[in-house]
Structure 1
Amino acid sequence: MNGFTFDGVHSDSLNVVVNKKNIPMTPPISNRFQEIKGFDGAWDYGMSYDPREIEVECTIFGDGTSSMKNNARRFASVLNPRKGTKMIIFDDEPDKCYFGRVSNQIPLEQVGQMGTFTIQFTCAQMPHTYGVDLRVGTYSTVFPVTHNGMYVAKPTLTITHNGGDGAVSLTRNDGNTLTLTFSSDSPASVYEIDCIEKTMVETGSAAYQYVSGDWFEMDEGENTYEASGNVAEVTFEFRDTWL
């Protein structure tokens, strides 16, 4: 097959085939260089990744002109950007995915019973390449897990906490340990910590006053989660991640 799945709908179901696609190897890079007059070179203050854009050129077919246009309208409804960011899977890499939405008007160049068009997907909040399968684990003490990607994976943690002092830690393959610590006045509750969105929530309210420390980023290879103190149980979710 030479197509893709968007939000669970495969392009074949609407008589759409992919002619070619452009998926950059990495998201765009924003460099933070500062040049100083009279000095060679520049100070390098690092970089960050910008939203990734994916272009897909397609052809849509029908039994006749009317059929082709009806297929095009149905396909436009599937791609409706008001639905927000959705999972995109290309046939040639069925175990990898992207998260994006359409960000361009889609002109249709019609020739008889077929039409050609180019879609631009923008992957804004999640600009990297991800595993299709959501990895999930639950533990109360120690839990080793292997991250199969080649870029850091940022998990979501659901923590059942009995209140008071406690901590959750992540020891990475590179030897660094990241820790989230609960304050002595933290109430017994279920906390959700999203390390992609960088949010901490407890029963629907912000929980930054009760939890401090590091946003978890899993390294390539072996990582070990650990819970201590009054933390009763932790469930983590993440996707293997590549640039």
Structure 2
Amino acid sequence: MAYGFTYKGRHCSELGARLLRYVVNSPELREYEDEPAGLPGVLDFGTELGKREIEITVDIDPNAVEFKRRQSEILTWLKPTAAVGILVFDDVPDRFYYAKLSGRLVPEQIGRYGEFRFTMKCTDPFAYGPERIHEDSLTASPFLFALESEGSEPTPPVIELTNNGAGTINEFTLTIEYETE
């Protein structure tokens, strides 16, 4: 498989495209502030993350298919009027983005060879990783275990408890600690 990316379950190499470069930009910031009359500076009411853009450049391997036809195939694959799809880059296979084409598919053609530049928009600015499941049998009291998040954002765990025994558990205490900003 050529170096590239997968979008909506299809690798770019299936369309004869090879990833030349990509830039995952930091999310846009929405800053809420006010300039009070007669006072220096601003009043800061906080900041939120906006959309994230990913700039992608691919080249097209020359073959018997006309460049314009391949351009049309790639545009159909990226289809900006469809819902977002999962975007995964080969060099970071354990992270994915929810993205869709934004703006134009900009071609540069020399005969059957060419390049395309385009931007993917992530309205959800975060990169996601695979779900991790930790299973344990509680055999003592107290019973402690620690799970580390491999992501860059603090994420609270989702905990599901199942009683596999014959007896009824009448009371227990669950303490969850995780760091936030």
Please indicate, yes or no, whether the TM-score normalized by the shorter chain is above 0.5.
yes
Listed as ranges, the matches of 1:219-230 within 5 Å are: 219=180
Paired position in structure 1 for 2:90: 91
Paired position in structure 2 for 1:149: 151
Matches of 2:30 and 2:112 in 1, distance apart?
43
**Greater gyration radius:** 2
CA apart distance, 1:33: 1.7
Query: What's the TM-score, normalizing by structure 1?
Result: 0.57
Residue 17 of structure 1 contacts residue 60 of structure 1 at CA under 8 Å; is this kept in 2?
A: yes
Matches of 1:61 and 1:159 in 2, distance apart?
52
Aligned to 2:106, the other structure's residue is in SS state coil
CA apart distance, 1:51: 0.5
Paired position in structure 1 for 2:171: none
CA apart distance, 1:19: 2.1
Q: In structure 2, do the counterparts of structure 1 residues 152 and 173 end up closer, same or farther at CA, with 3 Å as the change threshold?
A: closer
Residue 22 of structure 2 contacts residue 57 of structure 2 at CA under 8 Å; is this kept in 1?
A: yes
Amino acid aligned to 2:101: V
Q: In structure 2, do the counterparts of structure 1 residues 51 and 2 end up closer, same or farther at CA, with 3 Å as the change threshold?
A: same
Paired position in structure 1 for 2:177: 172
Matches of 1:49 and 1:14 in 2, distance apart?
34
Q: Deviations over 1:53-89 (max 9, x none)?
A: 11111111231352x3333332222211233111111
Q: Deviations over 1:86-129 (max 9, x none)?
A: 111112212111111011221322210112221111000x2112
Amino acid aligned to 2:87: I
CA apart distance, 1:170: 7.5
Matches of 2:108 and 2:133 in 1, distance apart?
44
Paired position in structure 1 for 2:64: 64
Query: What's the TM-score, normalizing by structure 2?
Result: 0.75
Listed as ranges, the matches of 1:1-243 within 5 Å are: 1-24=2-25, 26-64=26-64, 66=66, 68-124=67-123, 126-131=124-129, 133-136=130-133, 145-153=147-155, 171-174=176-179, 219=180
Matches of 1:69 and 1:158 in 2, distance apart?
52
CA apart distance, 1:27: 0.8
Query: What stretches of structure 2 of length at least 5 have no aligned partner?
Result: 163-173
Q: In structure 2, do the counterparts of structure 1 residues 78 and 91 end up closer, same or farther at CA, with 3 Å as the change threshold?
A: same
Amino acid aligned to 1:32: Y
Matches of 1:37 and 1:127 in 2, distance apart?
34
Paired position in structure 2 for 1:166: none
How many residues end up aligned between the 2 structures?
165
Aligned to 1:81, the other structure's residue is in SS state coil
Matches of 1:110 and 1:155 in 2, distance apart?
49
Q: Deviations over 1:110-149 (max 9, x none)?
A: 210112221111000x211221x1334689x998643221
Residue 22 of structure 1 contacts residue 54 of structure 1 at CA under 8 Å; is this kept in 2?
A: yes
Q: CA RMSD in A?
A: 3.1
